[in-house]
Structure 1
Amino acid sequence: MARYEIPNLESGYYLASGSVNGFVCFKGDVSSNRDSCPISVYNPTTRQMVKLPDVTPNGRRIYVRLGYDPVEDQYKVLCVMSFSSKKAKYNQLEEHLVCTVSSSQKQEWRKIENTTGENYYYSCVYGGICIDGALYYGVGKPRIAKFNVRSEKIEFIKTPKESLISTTLDSSFINYNGKLGGVDYCSWEEHPMTLWVLEDAEKQEWSRMTYTIPSTWRRSFLKFKGVIHTGELMVFYPWLKLSQPFSVGYYDFNKKKYKKSRDPRIDE
């Protein structure tokens, strides 16, 4: 395992969105002595950092997701700010901002309206993946938000009643053969890993596949980190304490087999 240092990154930043074509998005920590939230997009290949205009939270929670439009060849950052309102259902309202990432022109945040009428979430910390110009993320309810990167429109997709892919941090969104997939994990079940695949987005039809995971993974705090180029699911385990060793496993959905890769420096 190689160590990779990221230059020009201020202290207090953390990864806010998964990799999109190799690009990653970082968000600064909003502390009590800071009245703005810095957001940056980084290209590990060229080591170029693009800093976006700061966002003023005003006491609101800020969630950031990176998306890509393959038609216009544009990267955009979606910023969702959640704040309380006595008039809002569930006492929550969301404000959506979008910024087009560019190193050659001035960047600015644009406010977009949620035309679906469902402008409240529990949260949007669950998952986040961009597939074929659409950015998907969970909202803590039995549905998934879909943000069209090109049109900048938001719609919602209902999840199966038996699924937890939009309501728990133990689940994860993945790109399953070009389709949106969600991995459920329940350590107390006999077959604790289930793969849900969105077969038809317009009809909101899902398929379901259940897998028996290795015994070494059970009763562990598994972290699913998407699929690699071979189509295998990357899994980190166990996650009991940060001071304890952890291993990296890869699960092949087609062969229903797994393999393990371990960093010897961590195990020392």
Structure 2
Amino acid sequence: MNTNHQKELDESRDEDETPTISSAKPTRFIVAFTNNVFIKGDPKRLFIFSGEEQTSSSSSSLVATLDMTIPSVTMNGGFNCTSVHGFLACCQRLQFTICNPSTGQVITFPCNPKMWKSFGLGYDPVDDQFKALTLVSCPYGNPSFMVHEVITLGGGGGGGVVSRSQVTSPPYFPMTMGININGFLYFGACAPSQRATPVFVCFDVRHERLLSFITTPKDVLVCGAFSMLIEYKGKLGVIVPHPFDGPCFDRFDLWILDDVEKHDWSRQTFELPFSLPFSLGMGKSVSSQGTNKAGEIIFSPTTLPYRAQPFYVFYYNLDTKDMRRVRIHGVADTEEFWSRYGLTGFCCAFFSPNHVDSIASL
């Protein structure tokens, strides 16, 4: 495998000027949730809210408004929903749903019927393209190689899938969802098989190839679902809560991939001023999708509270070591909302900071 990831990135930037959304534009946060995914026959809907990011690091509340509802879409604990360059992507079973909360556009398309796992949506900033990466090989049984499907989506109102192609790689066992950073998708894995060497697989979105298996300290990938992948100052970051096997955690390690080519990692450990719930039981787990512009790490619930209760997220300041609880007003926190949309008690949720409005279409 080619490990010169940084060279590939530099060459991509040299070939064309990268079109980006202006950093001067105000960012928004996204809250998405689906109604009860465990009750058979319950009508499924994806609700998407958004609101303006706070300008003060001392704010204790934010306001969200309902942008759109999408029928027949569900999430599992928020782990199969991602925000990428103005679009929100969810994968359920063998179907991708991608939408733009700013324009209301929704695209739904099928995946390969042999799909074993989705790694989410990637964005190529040079050619201004979105591509979904899925695994269509079963990682069990010691396969000699892995087969992936790359689904390229259209631009300028083309309306969905432009092409599908296949990419192969050496064998590995996937451990996490993917995260898109600067034109590359990263996801945790063990190679060549389950319970083998922990690595991060790096997928080059533009050139549609798996560039490298990045050697990773064993403490970075803890049971897969317990390791939270974030973008931290343009680099791959991983949050590992401690203890990771209890009902809550009161400290965490922040691992940063400092040098992709040399596979160099750094670690900092932070103590929380109060514990956060972390059981995988319903209604208790929290996760992190990254930081805000102030550099605060944001932890958010992966489910809504039962019935009409306040929805809170937690902002942790790495410099001051302070953490504050922020209420998001408007997110299913009234009985009228629960009654109107038929919510019945358990809703998977997703929170994403730094979502920039986009008028682009696919």
**TM-score bracket relative to the smaller structure:** 0.7 to 0.9
Q: Name the residue aligned to 2:116.
A: 61
**Secondary structure of 1:202 counterpart:** coil
Residue type at the aligned position of 2:321: K
Which of 246, 258, 267 matches 2:323?
258
Query: Where has structure 1 moved over 6 Å in runs of 4 or more?
Result: 188-191
**Secondary structure of 1:6 counterpart:** strand
Write the mapping of 1:102-181 to structure 2, written as runs, cut at 5 A. Answer: 102=154, 103-104=157-158, 107-114=162-169, 117=170, 119-121=171-173, 123-124=174-175, 126-139=176-189, 142-154=198-210, 155-164=212-221, 167-181=223-237
Contact 1:17 1:128 (8 Å CA) reproduced:
no
Write the mapping of 1:42-81 to structure 2, written as runs, cut at 5 A. Answer: 42-52=99-109, 54-58=110-114, 61-81=116-136
Query: Structure 1 residue 212 and structure 2 residue 271: aligned?
Result: yes
Deviations 1:4-23 (A, max 9, x none): 2535x341443634111121
Q: Which has the higher contact order (CA 8 A, sep 6+)?
A: 2
Q: Distance in 2 between matches of 1:5 and 1:70?
A: 26
Q: Name the residue aligned to 2:90.
A: 26
Residue type at the aligned position of 1:209: Q
Residue type at the aligned position of 1:226: G
Deviation at 1:173, TM superposition (A): 1.1
Of 209-218 and 187-196, more deviation after overlay is shown by: 187-196
**Secondary structure of 2:293 counterpart:** coil
Deviations 1:24-61 (A, max 9, x none): 212233xxxxxxx2223211111112333x22424x52
Q: Name the residue aligned to 1:6.
A: 68
Deviation at 1:238, TM superposition (A): 9.1
Measured on the aligned residues, the alpha-carbon RMSD in Å equals: 3.0
Cα distance, 1:56–1:67 mapped onto 2, change above 3 Å: closer
Of 40-49 and 201-210, more deviation after overlay is shown by: 40-49
Q: Name the residue aligned to 1:40.
A: 97
Cα distance, 1:222–1:49 mapped onto 2, change above 3 Å: closer
**Secondary structure of 1:72 counterpart:** coil
Cα distance, 1:5–1:191 mapped onto 2, change above 3 Å: closer
Q: Name the residue aligned to 1:243.
A: 306
Q: Name the residue aligned to 1:32.
A: none
Contact 2:89 2:98 (8 Å CA) reproduced:
yes
Q: Distance in 1 between matches of 2:182 and 2:92?
A: 28
Cα distance, 1:238–1:131 mapped onto 2, change above 3 Å: closer
Query: Structure 1 residue 231 and structure 2 residue 295: aligned?
Result: yes
Cα distance, 1:107–1:198 mapped onto 2, change above 3 Å: same
Which of 92, 95, 98 matches 2:150?
98
Q: Distance in 2 between matches of 1:137 and 1:85?
A: 18
**TM-score if structure 1 supplies the norm length?**
0.79
Cα distance, 1:110–1:249 mapped onto 2, change above 3 Å: same
**Secondary structure of 2:275 counterpart:** helix
Give the percent of matched residue pairs that are identical in Structure 1 and Structure 2. 29
Contact 1:217 1:238 (8 Å CA) reproduced:
no
Deviations 1:89-112 (A, max 9, x none): 7xxx64201111114276231111
Residue type at the aligned position of 2:306: S
Q: Distance in 1 between matches of 2:271 and 2:183?
A: 32
Q: Distance in 1 between matches of 2:226 and 2:141?
A: 31
Q: Distance in 2 between matches of 1:55 and 1:190?
A: 37
Gaps of 5+ in 2: 1-62, 280-284, 336-362
Q: Distance in 2 between matches of 1:78 and 1:129?
A: 11
Q: Distance in 2 between matches of 1:254 and 1:62?
A: 37
Q: Distance in 1 between matches of 2:101 and 2:261?
A: 36
